[in-house]
Amino acid sequence: MAIVGGGPAGATLARLLAKDYKVLVIDKRRLDSDPQKGQFTKCCGGLIAPDAQKMLAKMGLALPQNVLVSPQIFAVRTIDINNKLERFYQRFYFNMDREKFDRWLISLLPDEVDLRCGSQFKHFEQEEDAVRIVLTQNNKTHIEHAKILVGADGAHSLVRKQLGIRGLVPREYISVQAKFTAKEIMPYFTAIFDKEITDYYSWIIPKEQHLLLGTALKPRENVSSKFELLQEKMKRYGIKLNKQVEKEGAFILRPMRVRQLSVGQSPIALIGEAGGWISPSSAEGLSYAFRSASYLAQAIKSDFKNYHKHYLDNITPLRRNIRLKNLKAPFMYNSQMRKWVMLSGLQSMQIDEN
């Protein structure tokens, strides 16, 4: 079996299948060594939400301390710019370094896995009883064959694109995230709602001596000027953003309809964000990556030949979860409904910053 992408979805699937099958993992990132300066890294907020924590627990995994970064966060500050409201809610996250997290997941792979880091998937062709996979490494082309090809290659999945199901992809956003030096530690994760910036949301996450300011923007809008406007508005709001030390961007998907989700078409399977499996309300993606990978692993182990049917069945609860999140989304994303919720004070708490 060949897995394109060694992120949380791909690394999890490889780990779960390694003892029973021949597994090849292809990733363009050098996940098997420390990141070098200028090297491509995964753009992420690096928060492990309770659903992802539960999945780690279910998989018998505990986080090593070196993956964590301070501060650990127990509250969300919600800023509604349009309604001029602010509330705090209790939430439990683990704050981590995403690159170290991905490297830790890869380090759990047994030696049996054929791990090809620094290797780029180009395209596939379906042959009679195998999939022919073309990849490049160090400017050389390599051909591999597999019974099943798994696309775990994230939001901008090439495997999904080549499957030709492009018309049904979830709504695509461009997330821009910049790192600023911070004078003081911010003890919460901030979620910002402002329709002048985006119909999704923006965020601030403290990371050691820095603050990450991020947002998810519609691709056809002027991404740079929207981000500058967000920065300006945050400064006006009193958020101290000092020197910008980094800025990165990535696609992020938002499945607004369950028919935009995909498990692939046998013998090509999709897991994680490649299949659109991500929360449409919070953009939390780690639990969806873990869950879709474990559903596919169970399907393959139970009936290799008919894995597709079993994967479709197994993933029903995740499909239901996304439907429910979309039903609840107006309470967060409809300005009037959000105003009612925030004014009601429901589940909010007072923070005494003295």
Ligand X SMILES: Cc1cc2nc3c(=O)[nH]c(=O)nc-3n(C[C@H](O)[C@H](O)[C@H](O)COP(=O)(O)OP(=O)(O)OC[C@H]3O[C@@H](n4cnc5c(N)ncnc54)[C@H](O)[C@@H]3O)c2cc1C
Applying CB under 6 A, which residues contact ligand X? Answer: 4-10, 26-29, 42-47, 49, 52, 120-121, 152-154, 158, 175, 177, 214, 250, 252, 272-274, 278, 283-286, 289
At closest approach, how far in Å is the CB of 33 from ligand X? 14
Comparing CB distances to ligand X, the nearer of 21 and 93 is: 93
Of 228 and 303, the one with the shorter C-beta distance to ligand X is 228
Report in angstroms how near the CB of residue 52 gets to ligand X at its nearest. Answer: 6
Q: Which is nearer to ligand X, 154 or 170 (CB)?
A: 154
Minimal distance in Å, beta carbon 340 to ligand X? 27
Question: How far is it, in rounded angstroms, from Cα 156 to Cα 289?
Answer: 15
Mapped onto helix, strand or coil, the DSSP state of residue 256 is coil
CB of 270 to ligand X, least distance (A): 9
Closest CA to 211 of 46, 88, 100: 46
Min dist. Cβ of residue 10 to ligand X (A): 6
In the complex, the smallest distance separating the C-beta of residue 238 from ligand X, rounded to whole angstroms, is: 24
| Residue 37 or 352 with smaller CB distance to ligand X | 37
**C-beta closer to ligand X: residue 288 or 307:** 288
Rounded CA gap, 180 and 327, in Å?
35
- For 68, other C-beta atoms within 10 Å of its C-beta total 17
Whole-angstrom distance, CA of residue 17 vs CA of residue 13: 6
Q: How far is the CB of 84 from ligand X (least distance, A)?
A: 26
Q: Do residues 156 and 170 make contact, with C-beta atoms less than 8 angstroms apart?
A: no
In angstroms, give the least distance from the CB of 130 to ligand X.
19
Task: Tell me whether residue 86 or residue 248 sits nearer to ligand X (CB atom).
Answer: 248
State the nearest-atom distance from the C-beta of 174 to ligand X, in Å.
9
DSSP symbols for 64-127:
-GGGB-SPPEEEEEEEETTTTEEEEEEEEEEEB-HHHHHHHHHHTS-TTSEEEETEEEEEEEE-
Angle between helices 316-328 and 286-302 (to 10 degrees): 160
Which residue's C-beta sits nearest to ligand X? 285
Q: Report whether 329 contacts 341 (CB < 8 A).
A: no
Residues in the chain: 354
| Complex with ligand X: residue 254 or 308, whichever CB lies closer | 254
The residue among 31, 257, 271 whose CA lies nearest residue 159 is 271
Whole-angstrom distance, CA of residue 221 vs CA of residue 304: 45
Which residue's CB is nearer to ligand X, number 174 or number 299?
174
Beta strands 264-265 and 149-151 are unpaired
Contact indicator for 273, 285 with CB cutoff of 8 Å: yes
> Which is nearer to ligand X, 87 or 98 (by Cβ)?
98
Q: What angle do CA 31, 35, 39 make, to 5 degrees?
A: 100
